[in-house]
Amino acid sequence: MKPSPYIVGLGGALRPGSSTERAVMISLQATADAGARTLLIGGDQLNLPMYTPNVGMRRADAPRLVDELRQADGIIIGSPSYHGGISGLVKNALDYVEDMKLDRRPYWEGRVVGCIATGGGWQGAVATLSAMRAVVHSLRGWNTPLGVAINTEETRFDDRGACEDARVCAMLASMGTQIVEQSRHMIRAGEGD
């Protein structure tokens, strides 16, 4: 029997229905279609106080974010490009992963991570995707072979959240499938621990 990995998608913007959050949702749906259990932590849930190391008491939603990431077998991160970099909202949420440094599996060790970056042009989206993949590497996560940069000047999402560009939709789904397949492999490999 194939293990059912738990995949957490996080990202977006504070604007409801952002293209970034919709892209994460499409990829997350592909993981569900491949048999994964899923959770979306959207932009509105990432509006956390600035991360401060060594603080004992955290607002209730910050520990929830960290707890869900602890349980995750795979992660999807989506960020809009803000001047060629990760948005402050998403970067601050990623900083909370520091609370996992003393875990049995520190940071994102043994977890597969797919990255999605959106921007109003190719330069910003690609630069942001590259920065996100570097952060995943720094957090000991395993980047999927496919990361997705989306130029929102060319690719639109309709009112229901569907991507109007079949190529982009296929890449988002393919990345989701990669996350599930590799997560299953890592779960089986860890069963001997």
Closest C-alpha to 9, from 1, 17, 23, 19: 23
Residue 77 and residue 132 in contact, taking contact as beta carbons nearer than 8 Å: yes
Residue 2 CA, distance from chain mean position = 23
pLDDT band at 189 (very low <50, low <70, confident <90, very high): confident
Distances from the Cα of 18 to the Cαs of 127, 132, 152, in angstroms? 19, 18, 11
Residue 191 has pLDDT above 70, yes or no: no
Helical spans, DSSP H, in the chain: 19-33, 61-71, 88-95, 122-138, 166-190
Rounded to whole angstroms, how far apart are CA atoms 104 and 190? Answer: 13
d(CA 123, CA 88): 18
4-41: pLDDT as tens digits = 999 999 999 998 889 999 999 999 999 999 999 999 99
CATH number of 6-190: 3.40.50.360
pLDDT tens-digit map of 83-142: 999 999 999 999 999 999 999 999 999 999 999 999 999 999 999 999 999 999 999 999
Q: What are phi and psi of 164, to 5 degrees?
A: -85, 0
Q: pLDDT confidence of 192, banded at 50, 70, 90?
A: very low
Q: What pTM was estimated for this model as a whole?
A: 0.94
Q: How many CB atoms sit inside 10 A of residue 109's CB?
A: 13
Which of 60 and 9 is assigned the larger pLDDT?
A: 9
Task: Determine the pLDDT at residue 57.
Answer: 66
- Distance CA(96)–CA(10), nearest Å, equals 13
Query: Which tens digit of pLDDT belongs to each residue from 144-155?
Result: 999 999 999 999
Position 175 scores a pLDDT of: 98
